[in-house]
Amino acid sequence: MKLSLCTISFRHHLISLKQVVEWAAQRGFSGIELWGVHAINLRDRPGYDLDWLRSQGLCVPMLSDYLPVQGDRQAVMDKTVDLCRLAQSWGASKLRTFAGNQASQEVSVEDRRDWTLRMRELCNIAEGHGVKLVVELHPHTLADTRESTRQLIEEINHPALRLNFDVLHVWESGADPFEVIGEFEPLVAHMHLKNVRSRSFLQEFLPGNVYRPAATAPAW
């Protein structure tokens, strides 16, 4: 198994990418999963590029971000193109996103249709850049249960669609991770592993907390 370290884990810390990369390289990691915000901020930083990362024996398997399924269509399309180009510049073949920000059981039939149509458009853009759009199995999204994830795959129905199998969140949903990965294995392109000692810390991973600069920091 190739292990990568995700820079979003350090969003609460004043740690440079250089420090993260050196730490990961010394401990046998094979890659750095770049948060989209970090990739954007590094765009104009000379010396911080794919060649530098490769010199450390590392790669970028995936950029991780959040692409809205609502709001201004052109803005989302432009953001997706930009992130796909950044993924290309880092040699990443995958772009991670969430399937919305609302629990599947709370989404109306009309909204679900609109969201999945939007995600199919995003898949088209990703495919045009040689990138897979990787949807994370995550609470409060259209991929928050086994059944809804299965439906989502059928609704999007696109060859560029892949899944990020987050073991913690599948367990959190009440499903058996072994059974779920057995069903979706052909589309699983990436996995997220987390070490959490109590369910009381699960709120740390809500999208609204993960992507908020002033969010609470994990204390595991």
Mean pLDDT per block of 10 residues along the chain (220 residues) reads 83 76 92 92 89 94 95 96 97 97 96 97 98 96 96 98 94 91 96 74 62 49
**What confidence tens digit (pLDDT) does each residue in 143-200 have?**
999 999 999 999 999 999 999 999 989 988 889 999 999 999 999 999 988 776 666 6
Domains plus CATH for the chain? 60-210 (3.20.20.150)
Angle, vertex CA 69, rays to CA 195 and CA 205, nearest 5: 15
pLDDT given for residue 10 in this prediction: 66
pLDDT given for residue 150 in this prediction: 97
pLDDT given for residue 199 in this prediction: 66
CA distances from 198 to 6, 57, 172, 205 (A): 21, 35, 11, 13
pLDDT given for residue 218 in this prediction: 47
What is the radius of gyration, based on Cα positions, of the chain?
17
CB 136 within 8 A of CB 96: yes
169 in active site? no
Alpha-carbon torsion angle 58, 192, 188, 185, nearest 10: 120
pLDDT given for residue 92 in this prediction: 97
Catalytic member of 138, 158, 190, 192:
138
pLDDT given for residue 66 in this prediction: 93
pLDDT given for residue 17 in this prediction: 85
Question: What is the DSSP secondary-structure string of the chain?
Answer: ---EEEGGGGTTS---HHHHHHHHHHTT--EEEEEHHHHHHTTT-TT-SHHHHHHTT-B--EEE----SSS-HHHHHHHHHHHHHHHHHTT--EEEE-S-SS-GGGS-HHHHHHHHHHHHHHHHHHHHTT-EEEEE--TTSTTSSHHHHHHHHHHH--TTEEEEEEHHHHHHTTS-HHHHHHHHGGGEEEEE----S-GGGGGGGSHHHHT-TTPPPP--
d(C-alpha 108, C-alpha 104), whole Å: 9
